[in-house]
Amino acid sequence: MALTSAAGLVSLLDDKGTDVKAFALKRLNELVDQFWAEISESVNKIEILHEDSTFPHNKLAALLASKVYYHLAEYEDALHFALCAEELFDTNASSEFVETIISKCIDKYTELRVAQDLAADGLTGTLSRQDSTGDRTWAANSATYKRLELVVDKMFDRCFEHKQYKQALGIAIETRR
């Protein structure tokens, strides 16, 4: 019998038990491509679980939030939460979600590197504007920026591993590395 709704799993996010919430997150993560619209109505609950540093599965909550925002075409939020998922965001996975987020990582990293270079030259750039994510920081010393840079580094490694030197060179030129 096929599952026709994620409502039951979503309701488990309100449970007091950590194990129950973890079970719900794992199942919702497996079903998000099918039930993303229904899950999106409770994305704030998922974000709260991610922000709870005492919750042992907060990275899984970040990954689920990222996938929901991806389906909503909110790519800036999807990128932010994918980076917060850290090692749970598998850059080697073959999916449209992963490829899109990697592309957004490279775009954001390029934007930030160009802005840093402009600022170093005394010119104004995109760093002088408020980031569209509001209070989320993309400063070069922030944890988010370091995770962003790590994803870009992994892409260089993947390019070299697959002997895609032109792609690596293109990324290097574009990101001014």
165: confidence class by pLDDT, cuts 50, 70, 90: confident
Q: Which residue has the tokens 């491509």?
A: 33
CB 85 within 8 Å of CB 62: yes
68-75 contacts: CB < 8 A, separation 24 or more?
68/32, 68/36, 68/39, 68/40, 68/43, 69/43, 70/97, 70/100, 70/101, 71/32, 71/33, 71/36, 71/37, 71/40, 72/36, 72/40, 75/100, 75/101, 75/104
Same domain? For 42 and 106 the reply is no
Same domain? For 61 and 139 the reply is no
pTM of the model: 0.83
Give the model confidence (pLDDT) of 6-27 as tens digits: 999 999 999 999 999 999 999 9
- Residue 82 falls inside a structural domain: no
Q: What is the Cα–Cα distance from 87 to 153, expressed in whole angstroms?
A: 14
Backbone angles phi, psi at 136, to 5 degrees: -75, 130
Asked whether residue 68 carries a pLDDT value surpassing 90, the answer given is yes
Give the model confidence (pLDDT) of 42-64 as tens digits: 999 999 999 999 999 999 999 99
Query: Last residue of a domain, which of 74, 106, 137?
Result: 74
- Residue 4 falls inside a structural domain: yes
Q: What is the mean pLDDT of residues 76-81?
A: 96
**Cα separations in angstroms, 39 against 28, 35, 42, 53:** 8, 6, 6, 22
* Residue 121, domain extent: 90-177
The per-residue pLDDT for 119 is 78
Q: What is the Cα–Cα distance from 93 to 176, expressed in whole angstroms?
A: 27
Same domain? For 67 and 101 the reply is no
- Residue 46 falls inside a structural domain: yes
Same domain? For 129 and 170 the reply is yes
Q: What is the mean pLDDT of residues 89-98?
A: 94
Q: How many domains does the chain have?
A: 2
